[in-house]
Chain A
Amino acid sequence: MRYLMLSEGGDAPDEKLFAEMGAFIEEMTAKGVLLATGGLAPDPTVVTSTGREVTVTDGPFAESKEAAAGFALVEVASREEALELARRFRAIVGDGRSVVHQVY
């Protein structure tokens, strides 16, 4: 089962956080769990459709201006495992939130 974890928020990154994050990513890659990960730029573009109309809105958006964001695609045996990974991640990065989706 694959899960996509979208995260935002967290303490202002310093060297310690970078080091801990790096170690965590390395550990999860070595365990064969983490398939892909990356940071997300804070100025996304939103494409919405209503009826037959498609609207493109450029960021940045107020609520996500300061927040660091990122994604991780993991392959695990259960939802509980995905949640354990999210917990470990949140304990490292500090305040903020992660949304965990199962990938079909």
Chain B
Amino acid sequence: MGGGVRARLDAVWKLESATIVAAAAAVAGDVGTGEDCAQEALLAALDTWPDTGVPDNPGAWLTTVAKRRALDHLRRLRRARPDGDAVDRAGAAVAGPGEGAGDEVLRLMLVTCHPVLPARERVALTLRLVAGLSAAEIARALLTAETEIVRRIAAARAALARAGVAFDRPEGAEFTERLGSVLGVVYLVFNEGYSATSGGRVLRPELVREALRLGRTLAALAPDESEVHGLVALMELQASRSPARIGPDGAPVPLHEQVRGRWDPLLIRRGFTAMLRARDLGGPPGPYLVQAAIAACHARAASDADTDWPAIAALYAVLDALTPSPVVRLNRAAALGRAEGPEAGLALLAPLTADPSLRDYHLLPAVQADLLERAGRPADARIHYERAAALTANDAERGFLLRRADAVAAPGPSRGRSLGEAGAAFLAGRSGATARSYAQTLARLCRALGDSLPLADADASAVAGAVVTAWGSASPRTWNRHVSTVRSFAAWAGRPDLGDGLALRPVARARAAPLPAQEVARLWSLPGVGVREVVLWRVLHESAAPIGVVLDLNVEDLDLASRRAGAVTWSATTADLLSGLVAGRTRGPVFLTDRRPAPSRAPASPRDVCPETGRVRLSYERAEYLFKSATRRLSPSGLTLGRLRDPSGPVPGAK
């Protein structure tokens, strides 16, 4: 016997979960109920199979039971909330032949990959319901905690219910969009397995297998969709290289060094078959099919030297037109480097080094290093291999890149101190906020230029390029902070010229520019402004105290006689208004909201509640909003409270 009922049930569930859940969901009209009914069917099997024996077609048995449970569920609903139509429709679905299990599974995938869900919830729900993995298995495959997977699945179910996502098959453009989302989820699962972004292993075969299975299933369910076959072809062809991709030490083996005899011919053949199917459907090729065509170029080549690099470079150009992205251009640069020589590749790659979206992408310096190595610049290549190693989160890949760095060139002898060493020495002995700020700047600089770059070889334009890529679009203050750090470091290291390409930017003063006196005078007489606002604005203006401090004042803090509360002071005119505002109150916030808060939004601290009225402290956001609204008469977009601060400080005599 191949295991007890429990083990057999697990195996059947893994093979049939999609069919079972989809059938029940089709009856119930929603995926959550479908899953619950499928679980009930599993319990029923555990109850009866030990006595009756496992049926010949256990999957069909479970499907029938799950559908019946779904129908029972609908009947209960009808008793609670009469809706004869729905139950009748569902009854027909159970009794009649229906649209066939295939269509239901496709609808299930369209729901579990629904765009209302965040990508990680789509992945978890799809692996759970369509691939039949347990939460523990998903957690292991995705390197996360089981509780987190349980949470994601529950959140996804709740979101689907909230959005009222129907268990149906959309038509036309919506179908194309929803199917695109399914393809995206399948490829995400594949890539997580095929080029693991983190963790100790490069390949996670269980995810590759599940993605292939999902893709093949999808191809059978939507046979007229060219991109589905394109995705399957892409995955089969990439997966065919799995046996050759990992060396005996667990490190990744780059394509050009792989032993091609170890590529799986069965998967290559399946990949080509899927590609032909996509091509036979006609129409303009989509991005998955173009990527499959690129993979096919590699699969066809008997050796690295035989590879049709011009064709691959051209396909990447097509792909870049279909789905423009810096990563695609990076691949194109790598291919062009092989087709027309490393210099051509480096030329195409040059603008990418200034792309902020690639600044932490380890494959950019990896490709750069490879091209430099081929171009006969081993010392430069070494620096970029090391940069790539510092950027990757995958241990095996880091080891590989460091070995390539060592293989291409010995560490530069007697070139003096490296950028990384100089940076560490610069930071040594500093502490506190300044040191943290300096460390941030230098870490970015080292990552962009390479820790091991000899300081003597650094040049101002590369430094400027790195700073622009990292902070070019930051605020002037942030920019200036980093530029100042680079300049101090450069001067300290005896290379003041390194900061030459960097200029400080003017800091807009508008933010804090105080309002001119005549404008302030107009504020006090704006129509429709309540006494609370006028008092708040006047105190802010006269005391120049921070807004938070003024809003935080309580009645018991006020010394009305000497017109002050701690460091906050005000004028005699304001004092009259203030007395009116707090009249009759002895405790609680000075500045209160107009209404009492809803019970669910009660503030945490009793200090923020007026004991007499139950109203709560006016919030900073609300105060800003009211000021902005009121001052639209003075300035089209309104003003901020910060501009009330009197440039001459507290009003003379207010003390």
Checking B3, B10, B58, B215 against A32 with a beta-carbon cut-off of 8 angstroms, the contacting residue is B215
CB-nearest residue of chain A to B267: A35
In the complex, whether A33 has a CB less than 8 A from a CB of chain B is yes
A91 CB contacts on chain B under 8 angstroms: 56-57
User: Is B10 a contact of A80 with CB atoms below 8 Å?
Assistant: yes
User: Is B221 a contact of A30 with CB atoms below 8 Å?
Assistant: yes
User: Is A78 a contact of B11 with CB atoms below 8 Å?
Assistant: yes
CB distance from B205 to the nearest CB of A (A): 9
In the complex, whether B217 has a CB less than 8 A from a CB of chain A is yes
Query: Known contacts being A77-B206, A80-B3, A91-B57, is A32 close to B217, with CB within 8 Å?
Result: yes
B209 CB contacts on chain A under 8 angstroms: 1, 75, 77
B14 CB contacts on chain A under 8 angstroms: 76-78, 81
Instruction: Mark contacts of A80-95 with chain B using CB atoms, 8 A cut-off: 1 yes-contact digit, 0 otherwise.
Output: 1101110110010000
User: Is A31 a contact of B7 with CB atoms below 8 Å?
Assistant: no
B201 CB contacts on chain A under 8 angstroms: none
Alpha-carbon gap, A87 to B15, bound state (A): 13
In the complex, whether A29 has a CB less than 8 A from a CB of chain B is yes
User: Is B216 a contact of A80 with CB atoms below 8 Å?
Assistant: no
In the complex, whether B2 has a CB less than 8 A from a CB of chain A is yes
Checking A30, A31, A75, A83 against B11 with a beta-carbon cut-off of 8 angstroms, the contacting residue is A83
User: Is A31 a contact of B15 with CB atoms below 8 Å?
Assistant: yes
In the complex, whether B262 has a CB less than 8 A from a CB of chain A is no
In the complex, whether A46 has a CB less than 8 A from a CB of chain B is no
CB distance from A33 to the nearest CB of B (A): 7
Alpha-carbon gap, A36 to B273, bound state (A): 13
CB distance from B430 to the nearest CB of A (A): 54
Instruction: Mark contacts of A55-96 with chain B using CB atoms, 8 A cut-off: 1 yes-contact digit, 0 otherwise.
Output: 000000000000000000101111111011101100100000
CB-nearest residue of chain B to A92: B56
Instruction: Mark contacts of A1-15 with chain B using CB atoms, 8 A cut-off: 1 yes-contact digit, 0 otherwise.
Output: 100000000000000
Q: How large is the interface on A (under 10, 10 to 19, 20 to 34, 35 or more residues)?
A: 20 to 34
User: Is A35 a contact of B15 with CB atoms below 8 Å?
Assistant: no
CB-nearest residue of chain B to A88: B57
B255 CB contacts on chain A under 8 angstroms: none
User: Is B266 a contact of A29 with CB atoms below 8 Å?
Assistant: no
In the complex, whether B214 has a CB less than 8 A from a CB of chain A is yes
Checking A30, A78, A83 against B102 with a beta-carbon cut-off of 8 angstroms, the contacting residue is A30
B266 CB contacts on chain A under 8 angstroms: 35-36, 73
Checking A33, A83, A88 against B213 with a beta-carbon cut-off of 8 angstroms, the contacting residue is A33
B221 CB contacts on chain A under 8 angstroms: 30
Alpha-carbon gap, A65 to B384, bound state (A): 66
CB distance from B278 to the nearest CB of A (A): 17
User: Is A32 a contact of B7 with CB atoms below 8 Å?
Assistant: no
User: Is B57 a contact of A30 with CB atoms below 8 Å?
Assistant: no
CB-nearest residue of chain B to A1: B209
A-side residues, CB < 8 A to B, are 1, 29-33, 35-36, 73, 75-81, 83-85, 87-88, 91
B-side residues, CB < 8 A to A, are 2-3, 7-8, 10-12, 14-15, 56-58, 102, 206, 209-210, 212-217, 220-221, 266, 270
Contacts A31-B15, A77-B206 aside, 16 further interface pairs with beta carbons under 8 A come to: A29-B216, A30-B217, A31-B220, A32-B213, A32-B217, A32-B220, A33-B15, A36-B266, A76-B15, A80-B3, A80-B8, A80-B10, A83-B2, A84-B11, A84-B15, A88-B57
16 residue pairs bridging A and B, Cβ less than 8 Å apart: A29-B216, A31-B220, A32-B213, A32-B214, A32-B217, A32-B220, A73-B266, A75-B212, A76-B14, A77-B206, A77-B209, A79-B2, A80-B3, A83-B2, A83-B11, A91-B57
Q: Across chains A and B, which 6 residue pairs bring their CB atoms closest together, nearest first?
A: A32-B216, A30-B220, A80-B11, A32-B213, A83-B2, A91-B56
